[in-house]
């Protein structure tokens, strides 16, 4: 048993969808979340900048005596983690769990991936899927407007539907039956995406699969908490705490009751 907290980071708010899933599958675990809201988005940055930002995020979490780190950011997971080695604790991203789930669930071998420009440009989802199943065909699409649409409160509007239809029509025409939501903001658009793709396409949430993967790894390695109490959640950001607290409820599905702290990294 290990009562240290789980560390989670993202470039902004989107990683809270992963926190929501962690709270669901491991309600007794303490969580420390860092959102780099002062430098969001990561998706259109250079590889060198994304790696530097990711190292900063990891180093901040390490100060909180965490037992595992989840990179709840598709861009950091795909672009930076391959270049970051021993940090003293296990660190997992959101790519491998989502890819494994997609390969397990596809029926026709055609898998779609949507993400930020940086995530799609890295081509890491396609590479990982190919390693798991060389016969699988992967079709990708960058959806750069999805993050600002979500963060500005337009997730369930006609604006979101118009933009999503433009992004997703090509994937739908390719006949994908499984679609990886390769950014943790995208679950807030699940309804719109599902309507456009149709009932025959299963959506894979990278945050949900990462949370399940973390639970299994921690159980196997004896890292689950021994506490029977509800876990404590701490939230840190590198910019305004007010806007984070206001929008955080959209991602967690409830108001953030604990205080949000601003920090320099």
How does pLDDT run along the chain (265 residues), one tens digit per residue? 999 999 999 998 889 999 999 999 999 999 999 999 999 888 889 999 999 999 999 999 999 999 999 999 988 998 999 999 889 999 999 999 999 999 999 999 999 999 988 889 989 999 999 999 999 999 999 999 998 899 888 998 999 999 999 999 999 999 999 999 999 899 999 999 999 999 999 999 999 999 999 999 999 999 999 999 999 999 999 998 988 888 888 888 776 666 799 998 8
Where are the extended beta strands (E) located within the chain?
Answer: 6-10, 31-35, 68-71, 90-92, 110-115, 137-142, 178-181, 202-205, 233-237, 260-262
Q: In whole angstroms, what is the distance from residue 255 CA to residue 107 CA?
A: 38
CATH of domain 95-206: 3.40.50.1860
Could you say which of 2.40.50.320, 3.40.50.1860, 1.10.3720.10, 3.30.200.20 is the CATH number of the domain covering 6-93+208-262? 3.40.50.1860
Question: To which residue do tokens 């980071």 refer?
Answer: 9
Q: Phi and psi dihedrals of 260, rounded to 5? A: -105, 135
pLDDT of residue 160: 97
pLDDT of residue 114: 97
pLDDT of residue 130: 97
Cβ neighbors of 135 (< 8 A, separation 6 or more) are 109
pLDDT of residue 86: 82
pLDDT of residue 186: 94
Note if the bond before 80 is cis, omega within 30 degrees.
no
For the chain, what are the domain ranges? 6-93+208-262, 95-206
Please count the other Cβ atoms lying within 10 Å of the Cβ belonging to residue 80.
26
Cβ neighbors of 137 (< 8 A, separation 6 or more) are 109, 110, 111
Per CATH, 6-93+208-262 and 95-206 having the same topology is answered yes
**Active site residue ranges:** 73, 183
Q: In whole angstroms, what is the distance from residue 180 CA to residue 161 CA?
A: 18
Q: Which of 10, 117, 118 is nearest to 57 (CA)?
A: 10
Structure-block tokens of residue 25: 């599958």
pLDDT of residue 255: 65
């Amino acid at each position: 048993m290990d009562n240290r907290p789980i560390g989670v980071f993202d470039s902004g708010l989107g990683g809270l969808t992963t926190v929501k899933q962690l709270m669901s599958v491991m309600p007794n675990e303490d969580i420390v979340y860092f959102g780099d809201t002062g430098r969001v988005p990561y998706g259109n940055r250079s590889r060198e900048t994304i790696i530097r930002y990711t190292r900063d995020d990891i180093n901040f979490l390490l100060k909180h005596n965490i037992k595992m780190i989840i990179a709840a950011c598709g861009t950091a997971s795909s672009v930076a983690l391959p270049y970051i080695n021993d940090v003293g604790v296990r660190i997992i991203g959101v790519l491998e769990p989502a890819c494994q789930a997609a390969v397990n669930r596809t029926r026709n071998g055609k898998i779609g991936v949507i993400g930020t420009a940086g995530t799609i440009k890295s081509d890491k989802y396609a590479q990982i899927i190919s390693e798991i199943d060389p016969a699988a065909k992967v079709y990708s699409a960058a959806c750069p407007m999805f993050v600002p649409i979500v963060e500005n409160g337009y997730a369930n509007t006609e604006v979101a539907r118009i933009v999503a239809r433009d992004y997703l029509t090509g994937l739908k025409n390719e006949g994908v039956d499984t679609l990886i939501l390769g950014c943790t903001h995208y679950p807030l658009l699940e309804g719109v995406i599902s309507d456009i793709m149709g009932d025959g396409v299963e959506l894979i949430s990278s945050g949900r699969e990462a949370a399940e993967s973390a639970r299994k790894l921690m159980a196997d390695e004896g890292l689950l908490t021994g506490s029977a109490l509800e876990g404590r959640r701490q939230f840190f950001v590198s910019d305004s705490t007010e806007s984070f607290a206001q929008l955080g409820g959209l991602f967690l599905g409830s108001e953030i009751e604990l205080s949000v702290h601003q920090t320099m990294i």
